[in-house]
């Protein structure tokens, strides 16, 4: 039998299809209706026309189909007969009739995707689990393969999906149905129930890696690590590590798990990516650079989801003065159409002494991730500073948009002169309280930037000379930065802080440390022990006391406090004091003696 009754009919039929898709009623009447007069030709094309009627909802076409069906009812066989009945019921708003006829069409083996979609959508809107179940069963009877992932994860809302799947896994379970059921329960916050379902599923389908992976993730998120390990296998081990990394509660735990994960899955892009994200945000610079260089080597092209992380990582690396690898340069150069990376390229050029300030005009700060927005502001301020157009009015606008702390954080990366100007200008404003000075100090201590902090503290003390925290911090910084030359001045400042706040353990530590630097070990011991009473877990105080004991010829006691300092430092991302980790390790080397009785 030829594909079409005649070449002319074929041309007319194709023209009819175009008219239907355009929903041009005049063309439909002219091009389609004459086809209906020839019974055999019409029956031959009926399936396609019914599909088009479902797709377009063209009421004129549906009416003509109904007329033909009334005349030739006996000639139309299932499943088309049921498809037509469902179509006519849908036109009349008879949802029950539409559903009943649609179910019969599916049982008869209908492959009309538009009918199937409308049936499931109608049942989903009605929120009737029994109707969804009837459609699934009818499809199975008709040999129709459903996209259950779409149905249960996109079409149905979690409560309805869970209700349907609960019955399905009881009547005809499959690994995928258990998986969808558990996911729906998790979305509803029913974690314990999801765990029970997954354990039952794994027992029933022990070879399903998808079920095991989800169960491992759920157990890790519930902090049931030992139980999660019972389900570890080559298929689930990676999921286990990714979940543990996602749920690590402190920096030390994250770093330990990250290193262990990489030892088992070297160069795994997702594990490396998580490391880069955490290390970049927390400012763990050495770890960030190591993970970032390995991660960028795994990137082939640059998916949209990786743009912001790559930009944040490269910007931080540039700020640290670390050279980019050839792969990192390539990624940067090939993706200058992405605004965050364009900003990174401008920063790189600026640090190399050849900034292209025109780039600023092509970047909208509101389109940047929040982390990078103030960098744009600082670069704009630097451009204005170079051009001699920077004044307080410009700074006021920048402060309103970006905030003092974030501008100061990035200014330390961009330019020392700009940073000093920002500090002096911020602190020359009418300040209402010491808290406003503290807002300027905070990012400088976090960086850490002792020189910037010293300038800010001096200016804060000029405004608020009786704030003990400022007096103590300034005295300690003078002792650290200038040593013997300003130890007497440092001592006066810390003693004044203690007069105002006699119970301050931080001032006690500062005074003890100043006495240590002066060689007065007995008084140093007295004040450092007072600080330790209130700050037994502080790494700086433990390091100070350990170093003092070492100087006093008591290495075994010193080792105890230095090890405590090392342990506490491992839990922290940033050093509370520049170089303290390195100093503690050096002191532990000096304290390497046999302390056994």
Helix H or strand E encompassing 28:
helix 25-31
Percent of the chain with pLDDT over 70: 93
Output 101 or 22, whichever has higher pLDDT. 101
pLDDT at 48 over 80: no
pLDDT category at 163 given cuts 50, 70, 90 is very high
pLDDT at 95 over 50: yes
- Which whole number is the average pLDDT over 186-204? 94
Tens of pLDDT, residues 389-430: 888 888 888 888 888 888 888 988 888 888 888 888 888 888
Tens of pLDDT, residues 441-463: 877 776 677 888 888 888 889 88
The per-residue pLDDT for 7 is 57
Residue 250 region by backbone torsions, left for phi larger than 0, else alpha for psi between -120 and 50, else beta = beta
Output 595 or 372, whichever has higher pLDDT. 372
Task: Check if the beta carbon of residue 342 is closer than 8 Å to that of residue 359.
Answer: yes
CA distance 54 to 110: 13
pTM reported for the whole predicted model: 0.69
- Which whole number is the average pLDDT over 535-560? 92
Output 283 or 317, whichever has higher pLDDT. 317
Tens of pLDDT, residues 249-272: 778 788 888 999 999 999 899 999
For residue 67 the two structure tokens come to 């007329």
Query: How does DSSP classify residue 367?
Result: G
Tens of pLDDT, residues 106-126: 999 888 888 888 899 888 988
Task: Check if the beta carbon of residue 287 is closer than 8 Å to that of residue 279.
Answer: yes
pLDDT category at 25 given cuts 50, 70, 90 is low
Tens of pLDDT, residues 56-67: 777 877 887 788
Task: Check if the beta carbon of residue 158 is closer than 8 Å to that of residue 124.
Answer: no
pLDDT at 508 over 90: yes
CA distance 73 to 82: 11
CA distance 363 to 255: 35
Tokens 């033909």 sit on residue = 68
Specify the range with the lowest mean pLDDT, choosing from 72-76, 172-176, 274-278: 72-76
CA distance 542 to 529: 10
């Amino acid at each position: 039998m030829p594909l079409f009754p005649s070449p002319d009919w074929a041309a007319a039929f194709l023209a009819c299809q175009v008219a239907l898709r355009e929903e041009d009623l005049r063309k439909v009447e002219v091009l389609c209706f004459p086809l209906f007069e020839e019974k055999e030709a019409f029956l031959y094309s009926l399936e396609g026309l019914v599909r088009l009627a479902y797709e377009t909802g063209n009421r004129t076409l549906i009416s003509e189909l109904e007329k033909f069906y009334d005349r030739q009812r006996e000639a139309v066989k299932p499943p088309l007969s049921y498809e037509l009945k469902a179509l006519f019921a849908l036109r009349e708003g008879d949802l029950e009739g539409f559903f009943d006829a649609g179910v019969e069409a599916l049982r008869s083996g209908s492959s009309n995707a538009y009918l199937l979609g409308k049936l499931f959508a109608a049942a989903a809107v009605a929120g009737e689990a029994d109707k969804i179940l009837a459609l699934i069963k009818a499809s199975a009877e008709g040999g129709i393969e459903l996209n259950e992932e779409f149905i249960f994860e996109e079409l149905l809302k979690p409560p309805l999906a869970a209700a349907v799947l609960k019955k399905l896994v009881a009547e005809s379970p499959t690994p995928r149905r258990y998986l969808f059921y558990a996911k729906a329960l998790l979305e509803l916050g029913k974690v314990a129930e999801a765990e029970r379902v997954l354990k039952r599923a794994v027992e029933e389908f022990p070879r399903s890696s998808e079920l095991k992976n989800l169960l491992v993730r759920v157990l890790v998120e519930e902090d049931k690590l030992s139980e999660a390990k019972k389900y570890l296998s080559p298929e689930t081990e990676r999921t286990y590590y990714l979940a543990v990394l996602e749920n690590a509660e402190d920096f030390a735990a994250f770093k330990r798990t990250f290193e262990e994960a990489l030892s088992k899955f070297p160069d795994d892009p997702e594990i490396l990516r998580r490391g880069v994200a955490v290390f970049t945000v927390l400012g763990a610079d050495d770890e960030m650079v190591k993970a970032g260089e390995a991660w960028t080597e795994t990137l082939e092209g640059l998916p949209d989801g990786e743009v912001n992380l790559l930009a944040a990582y490269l910007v931080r690396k540039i700020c640290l003065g670390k050279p980019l690898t050839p792969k990192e340069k390539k990624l940067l150069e090939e993706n200058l159409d992405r605004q965050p990376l364009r900003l990174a390229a401008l920063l790189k050029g600026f640090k190399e002494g050849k900034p292209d300030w025109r780039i600023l005009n092509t970047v909208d700060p509101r389109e940047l991730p929040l982390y990078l927005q103030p960098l744009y502001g600082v670069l704009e301020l630097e451009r204005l500073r170079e051009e001699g157009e920077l004044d307080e009015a410009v700074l006021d606008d920048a402060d309103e948009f970006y905030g003092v702390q974030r501008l100061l954080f990035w200014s330390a990366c961009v330019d020392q002169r700009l940073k000093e100007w920002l500090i002096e200008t911020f602190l020359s404003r009418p300040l209402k309280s010491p808290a406003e000075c503290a807002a300027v100090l905070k990012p400088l201590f976090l960086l850490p930037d002792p020189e910037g902090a010293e300038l800010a503290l001096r200016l804060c003390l000029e405004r608020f000379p009786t704030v003990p925290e400022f007096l103590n911090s300034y005295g300690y910084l003078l002792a650290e930065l200038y040593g013997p030359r300003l130890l007497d001045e440092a001592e006066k400042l810390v003693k004044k802080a203690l007069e105002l706040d006699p119970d301050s353990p931080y001032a006690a530590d500062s005074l003890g440390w100043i006495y240590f630097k002066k060689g007065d070990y007995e008084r140093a011991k007295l004040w450092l022990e007072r600080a330790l009473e209130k700050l037994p877990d502080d790494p700086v105080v433990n390091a100070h006391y350990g170093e003092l004991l070492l100087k006093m010829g008591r290495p075994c006691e010193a080792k105890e406090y230095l090890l405590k300092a090392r342990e506490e430092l491992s839990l922290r991302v940033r050093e509370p004091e520049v170089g303290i980790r390195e100093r503690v390790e050096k002191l532990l080397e000096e304290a390497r003696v046999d302390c056994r009785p």
